[in-house]
A = this chain, B = another copy of it.
Amino acid sequence: MYIEIDFNSDEAIYIQLRNQIFMAIATSQIKEGESLPSVRALAEDIGVNMHTVNKAYTTLRQDGFLKVDRRRGAVVAVDVNKTASIEKMKEYLRPLIARGICKGLSKEEFKALIDDIYEELK
C-alpha cells in the first residue's frame, strides 16, 4: 500500500491517511480480508505520531471499512449497506455541490468529473 502525506496541506493528517486508505481499497491495492500495517509500523513509515494513525484507523472502523482482529490487527472488512451509504454520501456531497454551484459549475461538469475520477481509479 502506497501512502502519500502532504505535510504542507491544510487537511488534517489523519484525514489524508484515511483518504489514502479509501483509495487503496477502491483500487484493490489492498483487498477485503487483508491486514493493514500495524499502527506502529505505519506511523514510523510515514513519519507521523502513532495517535494520528490510530485516529485514522478508528474512524475507518467506525465507518465500516475495517475491523480489528486481536491477532491480525486492522483488517479490511467493508460493511456494505447500500441505502445507508447512499444517504451518507448525499450528506458529504451536498456542501461540495453547493460550493461548485457558487463557482458556476453545472450538473454536467460534475458528472464529467465523476466519469474522470472513476476512470482514474479503475
A residues with a Cβ closer than 8 A to B are 18-19, 22-23, 25-27, 64-65, 78, 80-82, 85-86, 89-90, 92-105, 107, 109-111, 113-118, 120-121
Contacts and interface: CB of A to CB of B under 8 A. Distances in A.
Given A93-B96, A102-B26, A114 B110 contact: yes
A102 B29 CA distance: 12
22 contacts: A18-B95, A19-B98, A22-B98, A22-B99, A23-B94, A23-B98, A25-B102, A78-B102, A80-B104, A85-B103, A85-B105, A86-B109, A89-B110, A90-B113, A93-B117, A94-B120, A94-B121, A97-B117, A97-B121, A101-B118, A101-B121, A107-B115
